[in-house]
Amino acid sequence: MAPSRRVTTVELSVYDHTLPLVAGYLQAYATQDQLIAETFDFGICAHGVNADLSEIAAELLERRSDIYAFSCYLWNMGAMRMLLDRILENHPEAWCFLGGPQVMGHASDYIPAGSDRVVVCNGEGEKPFYEFLSAVASAEPDLARVSGVSYWSGDGIVTTSPNPRLSTLDDLPSPFAAGIFDGGEYTFAVLETNRGCPYGCGFCGWGAATNSKVFKFDEDRVRGDIRWIAENFVTSVLIADANWGLSPRDVELSKHIVRCREEYGFPISLVITAAKNQPRRVAEITELLVRGGLVTSQPISLQTVTPDALQLVGRKNIKEEAFTELRQTLDAKNISSFIELIWPLPGETLESFRAGIGRLCRLRAETLTVYPHLLLHNTDLYDRREALGLEVVRAPDEKAEADVIVATKWVSRAEYTAGTWFYYAMHFCHNARAAYYLTRYLDTRGLLAYEDFFTALAQFMEERDDEISTFAAESIASIDNFDMANMGKAAYLCLHSAREAADQLLRDYARTQPWWSDRGARAALDIDLAARPYIYDEPVRLPALKPQEVNWTQETATQLLIGLPAELASLAAELGLADRSTRYLRLTHPAAQKMPAPRMWGMEHNAGYCHVMIQRIRTLAPEWVAVPEPVRDHQVEATR
């Protein structure tokens, strides 16, 4: 007998052509019941969140489904609201089942008053959705029998008893093995090998199960899911475990992913959230994945280095000695890494934020990625938002519901803005290497600390109207920095389209500073101008500005020769460019592992690529070789 009712699951993912894992889970779990399998015909409506919503709404209405199940997240909730409204208006007899971290526990915000056809799931979705389908399949649906949901009844919202988490995850069949995704063409997939997180960070609602026991899928089942992904040519994979590397078996699973890549050529890239308190195991995994061509950099999630802030958010970081050991291990293996931070967390002040950044720069952190603090539903900080003085501004993206924290009890709105300007200055100078050697020189010599350099530059940029400064000002004013791609846009400008503007900004700023009278500082800035990486495979060229202290000559399409004055021969060793004093240095800008410079597409289209590349800055930075004697004397003649 053909199914008599139709179910459509709706997923709007960050990326186009994403495998709809949630839809697969819901269908695989529910259809274990023969009655459900015979009663309902399951379909999936999956698109990128930036797809045309009017076309998606038309597709959903054309299906005339009895049930629509929406997977709701911060990044797609605005779009989901629009689709829900369209269905309620044009297909009022349909049921709408909302699940996901954005709606759970917040039924009153998402169920229209008096609407008895909208149900909100308040936790892990597979079992409640199955119970919901069972209830709807009966002649007289009784939602009171469905666990862990909220719905409108009578004069208000009714919430049923919580649904316990799935402790035996293999009660949930693999949708990969069940064939639910067969025949689809996917470029991005999310993979779970476990659920839960043993930590209780107040800003995070990982699976709405913070500070909870971790339950694992069977290892052989996970291996099968990975093989399906490889066999079906999925390009990129996000491992959605909260702490990859927490379990020893993650090493073996990483090896399995690499073997699948070797056998099938896929996946090509992998994204992980590394376990924060297993630095040696994570370093081993990262080396495996780097050598296997799957990742290019290791994330190190610190979020803050301020003790008061860590205590307030219930977090413990790896010890500074462990971080230093990890960085040295990665350095020895030539593996990039990047630090993840959040601004502003409760307990963090503008002063402590700046000092923490300076401290990490002194520890030779390669890239410092500072995320805006988004206030997430179902987190400890959300529950304490009033006590902590958290003020938010809704990000200007109608398809999302991103609330950006712009003030706390410790940070005023003006200080939040100053801290964000500070981050743009740091991103420009340190991450993008625009003043990497200059800041190292000044800090090491005691002439100006990292944090003071970035602060002064940020204040200088606020008064400028050049391309770099204007981009930062507009991003801060519009809260556009809530989007991670924004940092990619900044890198695109600094390392590609606005290199000359970046050069001029630095030189103009430097001329206003007391340390500009120091010859070593002027030489260090000259070196920065020549050494700033290229984010694309494009011709290397000498800076447009004339050097102040060094001599530079272009030797080949990728190599420059730097000549230092005899009085500054020790500078090369001081900056870590050579292991001894030398007057001559050859720098080679690498061309491998880069895209060709774009011809047609601009900053918006290339932001994602640039964001990834800036987090693997080691592979972009030039290589330095000391040259005892110049090959030809005329190559190092003064060009001033």
Domains recognised in the chain with CATH numbers: 5-169 (3.40.50.280), 296-503 (no CATH)
Cα-based distances in Å from 132 to 60, 119, 129, 232: 20, 9, 5, 33
Q: Are 18 and 48 in contact (CB under 8 A)?
A: yes
Q: What pLDDT is stored for residue 210 in this prediction?
A: 45
Burial 130-145 (b: 16+ CB within 10 A, else e): bbbbbbbbeeeeebee
Q: What pLDDT is stored for residue 378 in this prediction?
A: 92
Q: Are 571 and 564 in contact (CB under 8 A)?
A: yes
Q: What pLDDT is stored for residue 635 in this prediction?
A: 44
Q: At what angle do helices 499-511 and 450-462 cross, to 10 degrees?
A: 110
Q: What pLDDT is stored for residue 201 in this prediction?
A: 86
* Concatenated DSSP letters of 28-65: HHHTTSHHHHHHEEEEEEEEETTS-HHHHHHHHHHHT-
Cα-based distances in Å from 10 to 7, 21, 84, 329, 568: 10, 11, 10, 44, 64
Cα-based distances in Å from 213 to 6, 80, 207, 247: 36, 31, 12, 13
Residues in the chain, pLDDT under 50: 207-210, 633-640
Q: What pLDDT is stored for residue 335 in this prediction?
A: 83
Q: What pLDDT is stored for residue 634 in this prediction?
A: 44
Q: Quote the pTM value.
A: 0.91
> CA-CA distance, 522 to 298, in Å (whole number)?
33
**Structure-block tokens of residue 472:** 């930062």
Q: What pLDDT is stored for residue 631 in this prediction?
A: 52
Quick one: DSSP state of residue 626?
Answer: E
Please name the amino acid found at residue 460: F
Cα-Cα end-to-end distance for the chain: 86
- Residue 105: which residues within 8 A CB-CB, separation 6 or more? 122, 208, 377, 378
User: Where do the H-state alpha helices sit in 398-553?
Assistant: 413-426, 436-445, 450-462, 467-478, 485-492, 499-511, 519-531
Closest alpha carbon to 593 in 387, 288, 293, 384: 293
Q: What pLDDT is stored for residue 2 in this prediction?
A: 66
> CA-CA distance, 149 to 431, in Å (whole number)?
46
**Structure-block tokens of residue 457:** 């530059």
Please name the amino acid found at residue 555: E
**Structure-block tokens of residue 222:** 């996970």
